[in-house]
Each structure stands twice: as C-alpha cells, then as structure tokens.
Amino acid sequence: MARSRAAGTEVSLFPFLSVLACLIGALTLIITALSLASLLQGREDEDIARAEDYLALQRTMDERAREIARRQVELQRTSRAAAELATLRIKPTTLENKIKAAMTEAAKLAERKRRKTALEKQTRELDKQLQSLRAELAEGRRKLGELAVMLARGAPLRILSTSSYYRKAAPVFVEAQKEQITIHSPSRQVEIPHRAIANHKDYKQVVDFVAAKDNRIIVFLVRAEGRSTFLAAESTARKAGAVTSKVPLPGDGEIDLREFHRVR
C-alpha cells in the first residue's frame, strides 16, 4: 500500500521530456531542411550555370559541326574542282599529243600520196616504155624472121652491070630454078613450070620481043639445081632467034636487080 501511495505522489516528467525531445527533433529537422535548402539552392545555381555552359558549348559544337560539314562540302567541291582541273590540265597535253600524232600521220599520208603519184607516173612511163619495147621487140622479131628467111635462102645476090655491053643492050632476066623459070621485070615476076616452058605464052612473048630487037638480050640467072631448066629455056629462046647469056648464081639468096630496073 505504501508503494501505491508513493507512486501516486511522484511527479512524472515524461511529457516535458517528450515535448522537449520533439522540439529538439523539430528544430533539428528544420535546421536540416534549411541546410539542405541552402545547399540545394547553391547546387541549383551551379547546375543551371553548368547547364547553360553545356548548352552554349553544345551550340558552339553544333555550329562548329555545321561549319566542318560546310567546309567538308567545300573541300569536296574543291577536290572535285582540283581533280577536274588536273584532268583539264592533262587533256591539253593529251590533245596536243593527239594533234601532233594526227599531224605526223597526215604528213606520212601526204608523203604516201606523193610517192603513190610518183609511182603512178613512173608506172605510166614504164608502161609507155614497155609498149615501145614490145613494138621494138615485134619489129625485131619481124626483122629477125626476115633475116632468118634470108639466111636460109642465102645472102642477096645483087646483079651488077659491069660490062659495057649491057649499057647498050637492055637485058631481060630469066631465073632458072629446079622446077621452073621466073621472068623478072620491073613491074612483076612470072613463074613458069618446067614442063610448060616451050608453049607458055608469057615466055613466048618475051622470047619474040627479044628476037625482034637488036638491043635486047635474055640473061639466064642459073641456080645450082636449075641447069636442066636453063637448057630447056635457052633452047626455046635460041630457036626463036633471041640472043641469050647466062650468069651462074652461087647460093640461094634473093636476086637484087635494082641497078638494071632503076636504069631502065
């Protein structure tokens, strides 16, 4: 019971201490809040400054990036222009080389044309010379053929008037060959076969003409194989009263009577 009384008479400080503790806690909280607010206020200004600096730096970087991009575009344009300029600088040299090559080729072509013209002229001249040579060759062959015929027959036999008798008496030449006689006159030659000598009208006319003239004579030109023909012709002439003579002919060459025919 005593304890109960004592308990009822004791003073309790719990509410005061609680209030004090609450007050201290409240003050601490207020002080903390004020400190935090002060700190936060300082940090906010610094952060704002930093943010502003960052934005300014970002703007500067953006501007520089744009400037770099613009410079890169200009640099690319400049590079392309430089490449084009280098190409253009190379092109004149290439064109000059092409022009020089074209001029050299043109000069070569002109020289070829000149040579072609000269060769064509030489060819025409050579053709003319060839035609002339062919004509000369043909003429030479013709003359060679004539010479061959003459060689086969023998050298021409030229009958000359060496006797004074033939200056007074005009001879009629009769060639005595193996199978025939040939009457030589300035205008023509008459060939008479051996078997027809005695009765041939042309020979009979010659014989009668010579027999009727004092200044006429039959000269027989006797070939080596024409003796029998000569004898037959001479016999016929003498029977008709014609004066005769004979000249043996060496070889088989043609008879040249131009001296007598020219005189007569």
**In terms of C-beta density within 10 A (0-12 exposed, 13-18 middle, 19 or more buried), how is residue 169 classed?**
middle
pLDDT band at 1 (very low <50, low <70, confident <90, very high): very low
3-state secondary structure of 154: coil
Q: Report which of residues 56 and 168 the model is more confident about.
A: 56
Q: Which of 89-93, 102-106, 232-236 has the lowest mean pLDDT?
A: 89-93
Give the pLDDT score at 181: 92
Q: In what order do the strands lie in the sheet with 189-193?
A: 189-193, 180-184, 170-176, 216-222, 244-248
Highest mean predicted confidence (pLDDT) among 76-85, 127-136, 148-157? 127-136
**In terms of C-beta density within 10 A (0-12 exposed, 13-18 middle, 19 or more buried), how is residue 136 classed?**
exposed
Mean pLDDT, the chain, rounded, equals 77
Tell me the pTM. Answer: 0.41
Give the pLDDT score at 24: 79
Taking the C-alpha atoms of residue 220 and residue 53, their distance in angstroms, rounded to an integer, is 159
% of residues, the chain, pLDDT over 70: 74
pLDDT band at 26 (very low <50, low <70, confident <90, very high): confident
Q: Which residues of 172-201 are buried (b: 16+ CB within 10 A; e: fewer)?
A: bbbbbbeebbbbbeeeeebebebeebeebe
Residues 169-226 have pLDDT tens digits of 678 889 998 899 999 877 788 899 989 988 889 999 999 998 998 888 888 989 888 8
Give the residues across from 181 on adjacent strands. 176, 192
Give the pLDDT score at 264: 47
User: What topology does CATH give the domain 156-263?
Assistant: Nucleotidyltransferase; domain 5 (3.30.420)
Give the pLDDT score at 13: 53
β-pairing, 189-193 vs 180-184, is antiparallel
Give the pLDDT score at 52: 73
Q: Which of 50-59, 97-106, 128-137, 244-253 has the lowest mean pLDDT?
A: 50-59
DSSP state of 241: T
CA dihedral 31, 37, 43, 45 (to 10 degrees): -140
